Structure formats: structure tokens, C-alpha cells
Amino acid sequence: MASSLYFNSFMIFGLALAILTVAPLAEAIAFFVFGDSLVDSGNNNYLATTARADAPPYGIDYPTRRPTGRFSNGLNIPDIISEQIGQSQPPFPYLSPVLKGHKLLNGANFASAGIGILNDTGIQFLNIIRMFRQLDYFEEYHRRVSGLIGSQKTGELVNKALVLITVGGNDFVNNYYLVPFSARSRQFSLPDYVKYLISEYRKLLMRLYNLGARQVLVTGTGPLGCVPAELAMRSTNGECSEELQRAAALYNPQLVEMIKGLNSEIGENVFIAANTQQMHMDFISDPQAYGFTTSKVACCGQGPNNGLGLCTVLSNLCPDRDHYAFWDPFHPSEKANRIIVQQIMSGSTQYMTPMNLTTFLAN
Ligand SMILES: *[C@@H]1O[C@H](CO)[C@@H](O)[C@H](O)[C@H]1NC(C)=O
Ligand SMILES: *[C@@H]1O[C@H](CO)[C@@H](O)[C@H](O)[C@H]1NC(C)=O
């Protein structure tokens, strides 16, 4: 009797110890998201703007089968990253009235479709949350969470969190190249504009760092000239638009260099860069290898390549979204988003600088 009692309490003690040591690991880190439509999960639903995805057929493959404001047929990149880092649900849009109390501890999504690095990007979309404002909201988030758990614990939560920032594509598409002879294109040659964008982006990243971000995933732009919208509007021979490809080819390597420079200045790898151009290029050059029937035609849209105008209930809609790399004229399908996140998580140094996200979070 005595020995079995001893055995049992030892077991219980052991079990309790196991729970104590396992519990902190099981608790997922917080996740913060900044940027444009590639990562907006619905903030623009609450704003007076034309940049929105809150009507069908957006969300047709989302678990609820309803539009949420995500620019995808289903999940977007932050949703899939959230899944991969073990969160039970992705962070809510910061403007959502649902995001309050302890839900704030899971993180927040500050992204807003249409925005760019520069304040004058996306002016045609009127009321959107520009980058400086997203960071103002992040400061407000600190104050709100400090009220819940105190400022020291809030600081720790933010330090340990994963931060994703996806911005820059609109500075070309919805600014420099929006109209012929745009103000920015008269002000800057393309190489000088890229330099200016990178220097402004660097300031935004430093502000994130100063607000406590210590694990920041920065994505480059995709192959801007190859999206169905540009194939429809600019391409003469069905090939990617050379001018926009030139922009992406100048911008992406300089972004990586800027991030390397920031890390070495800080003396620590705070930022990792995802070569989203290469990730997209893989399935754009060989869609069949990734299970797509096409990367040139959007699933939802109208006109050549289904690349003109918006995706609405009146648009052509493909029956099987998994066969299309692009859901609408600008945004990847959920299937393509999954391929991109797979590379972010575990890709080689060809895709991820200086390391992939799995290695980054394990350090
Ligand atoms: C954008 O606007 C804000 C607020 O007016 C300003 O603080 C910030 O410097 C501007 N950013 C750029 C890149 O001009
Ligand atoms: C992720 O990065 C680590 C460290 O660089 C590397 O060992 C691992 O192979 C990477 N994953 C892949 C699939 O390359």
C-alpha cells in the first residue's frame, strides 16, 4: 500500500511537473501584422474606401464561406502563418469591435488595403490606414494592453511576438505607375524612386524596432509585372510587363541589403526577409509543377486574363480555385498563399535571408 501510494504521488508530481514545463511552450506567441491588401484581414471593412473585399465572391472558400475583407478566395498569408506558429486563431483586424480584452493578447492585424510606404500612395482609395497610422495604432495597442497586464508584461509580449510587414507593391502600382507622367515619376527616375522608398521603409522598420518588435518578417514585392492585371493592361505579347518587372528587380535586392544593414547596425537578427519575388516566380514560370492550370488568368475578374476591373458577383468565376495561382487580378489564391508560406517557414537561403522563419523562431 505504502509503496503504491508513494508511486502514485510521485506520478502525480511528475505529471504536474510535465504540465508546468509544457504549458508555456503550448502558449503561442502573439502575432502582429502590418501592410497592404496582401495581409489585410478586414480593417478596410470599417473605413470609407473603395479598397475593400467584403462582398462575394471574396471568401468563397473561407471556412465560413463568407467575405471577411481578406483579398483571397480563402485564407491569406497571415492566416496561414498564424496556423503554422500554433495560434488557435489569427489576430483580428485592429478596427474590429470584437478585438478587445484578452483577445488583444493574441496580437492584432493593422494592415489596410491600398496603402504603401509613402503617404501619397493609394490616395485614390481615400480613407485607408497609412503606414505611419498603423504604427500609431500599434502604440495605442501598447497602452490598451498595458492597462490589462501592465507595461512590463506588455513589453515582453511584444518582444516575443512575431511581426509580419508586407508593403511596397502599391508604391509602384498605385503611385509611380498609376497614371502616365505621375507626380512621382516626374520627380524621380525609377532607380532614385527605389532608393527613396527603401530609405523611407527603413525608417518605418526602425520605428517598429523602437516599439519593441524583435522578430520581424519582411516580405518583398512579388513579380509586379506578371499579375493578371498587368498582363491585361500593359503586356503586348502575353509576357510580364517589363517596366514593372524592372521595378521589382531593382527594389527587392535593395530591400534585402537594407535589412542586412539594419541587423548589423542593431547587432542582432531582428529582421528576416522573404524573397516573395522568387517564391511567386517559381509557380509563374512552371504553374503545372505546383498543381495550377494557369498563372496568367485570374480566377475572378473580366476582360483579358480576367485582369481588368474588380472581382465582383458579376465577374467570371472559376469553379476550382486551387487550379489558379491568382484569385483576382492582383492577389494570389489560398493555394498560392500556402506555397508562399511553406517557403517562408522552411525555405532555403535562396528564399529567406538570413534564415527561414522556423529557424528564426527557434533561436
Ligand atoms: C506621412 O505622414 C505623417 C503624418 O503627417 C508624417 O509624420 C510622416 O513623416 C509622413 N511620411 C512620409 C514618408 O512622408
Ligand atoms: C531552414 O533553415 C535551416 C537553417 O538555415 C536549414 O537548416 C533548413 O534546411 C531550412 N529549411 C530548408 C527546407 O532548407
Residues annotated as catalytic are 37, 328, 331
pLDDT for res 236: 80
Q: Tell how far the Cα of 120 is from the centroid of ligand 1, in angstroms.
A: 9
Question: What percent of the chain is predicted at pLDDT more than 90?
Answer: 91
- Whether the CB of 132 sits within 6 Å of ligand 1: yes
Is residue 8 predicted with pLDDT exceeding 50? no
pLDDT of res. 3:
42
**Which DSSP state fits 331?**
S
What is the number of the ligand 2 atom nearest to the C-alpha of 349?
A: 5
Q: With bands split at pLDDT 50, 70 and 90, how would you rate the model's confidence at 28?
A: confident
Indicate the domain borders of the chain: 28-280+345-362
Residues near 185 by Cβ (< 8 Å), separated by ≥ 6? Answer: 176, 177, 193
**Ligand nearest to the backbone CA of 362:** 2
CB 197 within 8 A of CB 117: yes
From the CA of 135, the nearest ligand is 1
Q: Does ligand 2 have an atom closer than 6 angstroms to the CB of 254?
A: no
Q: CA quadruple 138, 140, 67, 54: dihedral positive or negative? A: negative
Span 260-283, average pLDDT: 96
Length of the chain: 363
218 alpha carbon – ligand 1 mean position (Å): 21
For residue range 135-159, what is the model confidence (pLDDT) as tens digits? 999 999 999 999 999 999 999 999 9
CA of residue 118 to ligand 1 center, whole Å: 8
Contacts of 180 (CB under 8 A, 6+ apart): none
What is the pLDDT, as a whole number, of residue 153? 97
Strands 31-35 and 107-109 come out as parallel
Q: Indicate if the pLDDT at residue 1 is higher than 90.
A: no
Higher-confidence position of 303 and 235:
303
What cell does 123 get?
490616395
What's the pLDDT tens digit per position in 177-190? Answer: 999 999 999 999 99
pLDDT digits (tens, 9 = 90+) for 105-127: 999 999 999 999 999 999 999 99
Which residue's CA is the closest to the ligand 1 atom numbered 11?
119
Using the predicted structure, report yes or no on whether residue 25 has a pLDDT greater than 80.
Answer: no
As a whole number of angstroms, the distance between CA 81 and CA 337 comes to 10
Radius of gyration of the chain (CA): 22
Closest residue by CA, ligand 1 atom 9: 132
- Rounded CA-CA distance 300/326 in Å is 8
Nearest-atom number in ligand 2 for the CA of 348 is 14
Q: How confident is the model at residue 9 (pLDDT cuts 50, 70, 90)?
A: very low
Q: Are 43 and 124 in contact (CB under 8 A)?
A: no
| Residue 26: pLDDT over 70 | no
Q: Show contacts of 152-158: CB within 8 Å, 24+ apart.
A: 155/212, 157/30, 157/105, 158/30, 158/32, 158/211, 158/212, 158/213, 158/214
Considering the domain delimited by 28-280+345-362, tell me its CATH architecture.
Answer: 3-Layer(aba) Sandwich (3.40)
Q: What is the DSSP letter of 33?
A: E
Distances (CA, A) of 18 to 10, 26, 68, 353: 12, 12, 40, 36
Q: Are 97 and 80 in contact (CB under 8 A)?
A: no
pLDDT at 50 over 50: yes
The pLDDT of residue 313 is: 97
The residues, ordered by sequence, that sit 6+ positions from 291 with a Cβ below 8 Å of its Cβ are 322, 323, 335
CB 339 within 8 A of CB 283: yes
The region, left, alpha or beta by phi > 0 then psi within -120 to 50, assigned to residue 203 is alpha
Q: Is the peptide bond before 67 cis (omega within 30 degrees of 0)?
A: no
The preferred substitution site among 339, 349, 358, 363 for testing ligand 2, maximizing ligand atoms within 8 Å of CB, is: 358
CA-203 nearest atom, ligand 1: 13
Q: What is the DSSP string of 264-304?
A: HHHTS--EEEE-HHHHHHHHHH-GGGGT-SBSSS-SEEBSG
State yes or no: pLDDT of 279 exceeds 90.
yes
* Ligand 2 pocket, mutate which of 350, 356, 360, 361 (most atoms under 8 A from CB): 356
Q: Average per-residue pLDDT in the chain?
A: 93
Proximal ligand: closest to the CA of 199:
1
Evaluate if residue 6 carries a pLDDT over 70: no
User: Is the pLDDT at 13 greater than 90, yes or no?
Assistant: no
